[in-house]
Amino acid sequence: MPQKPRVYFLVYFLITMADLLLIYSGKNELRWFTKPLLMPLLLLVVYLQRRHIPLYVYMLGSLALSWAGDLLLQMKGLFIPGLISFLLAHVCYIVYFVKISNQQKGLLQLQPLIGLPVLIYIIIFLWLLYPFLDTLKIPVTVYGITIGAMLLMSINTKLKVNAMAAALFFNGALQFVISDSILAVNLFAVSSMILSLCVMATYASAQYLLVRGSMQVAADLTETK
């Protein structure tokens, strides 16, 4: 890996640690100096590597929309706009996973039942969350279906890209689902500092893994030329 991405990833890790420390200390107002810096760093990495990353526009779109979602969710009264931003970010990831290779079928296309646990989880989680949602049932349901589809499409990248890239995509998407699930519990059911820490840790890790996955696809394509 080139030196520059390593430096950006190191800064990303340090800012993530600082943001987690602010959560632990209860100084959420200072998170305006940490959390909004994370996605721009990953955006910069993808932009600098754009000549080598297939379909990089979708990765940039996902990260930019995630950044907008980060900002909106930190503001009071802007939950729905923030939710929409992240929903669109997941749509970009879905399109990226679908388009990443049209030359061969993915794992889910060959063995559809592998996706059944994801469907069961989304259904059960939404059912358990429903009593706490009040007027937000429809938007949260749409979001839950979308992020479930994103995880399914990440599973389908196996056999379409190299094994390392597929593993990075799956783990990144899985951690995104975990992060959003914990966030929903933290927002609507039981609020706690521990849950907030888990949300941020898994979210930062998820985005990092997805970016690394796209870079791994690029490296693989470079080696096969």
pLDDT at 223 over 50: no
Answer yes or no: are the C-beta atoms of 15 and 37 closer than 8 Å.
Answer: yes
What residue segments make up the domains of the chain, in order of their start? 3-224
Q: DSSP string of 85-143?
A: HHHHHHHHHHHHHHHS--SS--HHHH-GGGGHHHHHHHHHHHHHHGGGTGGGHHHHHHH
The pLDDT of 15-37, averaged and rounded, is 95
Report residue 129 as tokens.
Answer: 């969350």
% of the chain at pLDDT higher than 90? 82
At 204, the amino acid letter reads A
Of the pLDDT bands very low, low, confident and very high (cuts 50, 70, 90), residue 220 is low
* Mean of per-residue pLDDT scores for the chain: 92
Q: What's the pLDDT tens digit per position in 147-203?
A: 999 999 999 999 999 999 999 999 999 999 999 999 999 999 999 999 999 999 999
Residue 16, SS3 per DSSP: helix
The pLDDT of 127-134, averaged and rounded, is 94
Nearest to residue 52, comparing CAs of 172, 223, 215?
Answer: 215
Residue scoring higher pLDDT (224 or 114): 114
Q: How far apart are CA 83 and CA 60, in angstroms?
A: 18
Q: How far apart are CA 35 and CA 205, in angstroms?
A: 13
Q: What pLDDT sits at residue 224? A: 45
Q: What pLDDT sits at residue 3? A: 52
Of the pLDDT bands very low, low, confident and very high (cuts 50, 70, 90), residue 51 is confident
Report residue 57 as tokens.
Answer: 């526009």
DSSP 19: H
Of the pLDDT bands very low, low, confident and very high (cuts 50, 70, 90), residue 128 is very high
Nearest to residue 99, comparing CAs of 225, 217, 211, 204?
Answer: 217
